Amino acid sequence: MNYTGPKVRNSRKIGVPMTAKAGKIMSSDKAGRKSPPGQHGSTKRRGKLSVYGTQLFEKQKLRLQYNIHERQMTNYFKKASHLTGNTGDILLQMLETRLDAVVFRSGLARSMSAARQYVNHGHFLVNGKPVNIPSYQVKVNDIVSVREKSRKMEAFQEAIRTAAPPAYLNLSKADFSVKFLHLPAREEVPVVCEIPLVIEFYSR
């Protein structure tokens, strides 16, 4: 199952805001401190991570940013490692072509967890057909859109007003749809993670 606990806690743990709320809290003077979450976070002494510890941390950062289970991440790595090309780039492309990731990146949801929930609840179409599977793999030239009866929901109205998708997604705010233009290069993917260390972790 995917992570359903406090997003702010995990955001502070990995140093990456997973939700808009986490971003606001992490940037505030009170909670934006660079210390681990928890009551005694500011007093804990943090030793230097081992090579394994560093790899593990980067893997956790990547997994949490996509809000997926460890088993899913392992399966994505296995598939990526059997394909021709850079395994790290292919892994990221697999993650970015998940339907929930496309919904989030396009700006039609304010967080990855919200995108997953919207997809599960049947608010989205892919090429005009309803799809409620967050892990559904979107292909190049596919069009993902919000169902017409869902477009008046405040969640979508609010999200689309501030949407700013990356270059590999073409968002049409008029009809609440996004076209997947091409598989993204690493520099186009707004993920905070050392992908080579993730590959090293799974290659052990």
Terminal CA-CA length for the chain: 25
* Domain ranges in the chain with CATH number 3.10.290.10: 98-180
**What is each CA distance from 162 to 39, 109, 120, 155, 174, in whole angstroms?**
34, 10, 23, 12, 14
Q: What is the pLDDT of residue 48?
A: 81
pLDDT at 2 over 80: no
Predicted TM-score of the model (pTM)? 0.80
Which tokens go with 145?
A: 């859109």
> pLDDT tier at 49 (50, 70, 90 boundaries)?
confident
CA angle 129, 169, 195 (to 5 degrees): 110
pLDDT at 138 over 90: yes
Q: What is the pLDDT of residue 5?
A: 57
- Sequence-distant (≥ 6) Cβ neighbours of residue 139 within 8 angstroms: 97, 180
Q: What is the mean pLDDT of residues 22-33?
A: 52
Q: What is the pLDDT of residue 11?
A: 52
If DSSP states are collapsed to H, E and C, what string results for 59-111? Answer: HHHHHHHHCCCHHHHHHHHHHHHCCCCCHHHHHHHHHHCEHHHHHHHHCCCCC
pLDDT at 45 over 60: no
Q: Is the dihedral of CA 30, 33, 37, 38 positive or negative?
A: negative
Q: For 108, phi and psi rounded to 5 degrees?
A: -80, -5
* Domain ranges in the chain with CATH number 1.10.1050.10: 7-37+46-85+191-202
Pick the CATH number of 98-180 from 3.10.290.10, 3.10.20.70, 3.40.50.1220, 3.40.50.300: 3.10.290.10
Q: What are the pLDDT digits (tens) for 149-176?
A: 999 999 999 999 999 999 999 999 999 9
7-37+46-85+191-202 CATH fold:
Ribosomal Protein S4 Delta 41; Chain A, domain 1 (1.10.1050)
pLDDT at 36 over 60: no
CB atoms < 10 A from the CB of 24, how many? 13
Which tokens go with 160?
A: 């689309």
The whole-angstrom separation of Cα 63 and Cα 35 is 21
Number of H helices, E strands in the chain: 9, 5
